[in-house]
Amino acid sequence: MNMRSHISFLRRGKIVDLVPTSTTQTVLDYLRLDEKSKGTKEGCNEGDCGACTVAIGRVKDGKLVYEPANACILLVGQLHGCELVPVDDLSQDGVLHPV
């Protein structure tokens, strides 16, 4: 299995390059433990309750499309080439994010 040594994704308008701490690191753990962002919560840790919902932006047919994702079951490696928008990022200087 070919494994990336690092991943890149967009967060708050900046490119984040990182080496995941493990192949099974979740986006929830990355946000809460590595970034110390506390807006995304752990509820059921099974992807059922929605407390950990984040928006993931991907380019589809030439357009940036946002979809909800459960951060507790989404692996950090799946963010490669995407934009990550957790609840902490929904407003900047009082202006709401398009999500």
Q: Residue 71 corresponds to which tokens in the numbers above?
A: 């951060």
Does residue 5 surpass a pLDDT of 80?
A: no
Report CA-CA distances (Å) from 56 to 1, 2, 10, 82.
25, 24, 10, 7
Could you tell me the CA-to-CA distances from 39 to 9, 21, 32, 42 in Å, in that order?
19, 21, 8, 10
Q: What is the pLDDT of residue 99?
A: 64
Quick one: pLDDT at residue 40?
92
d(CA 8, CA 28): 17
Q: What is the pLDDT of residues 27-80, one digit of tens each?
A: 999 999 999 998 899 999 999 999 999 999 999 999 999 999 999 999 999 999
Its pTM stands at: 0.85
Residue 6's pLDDT band (cuts 50, 70, 90): confident
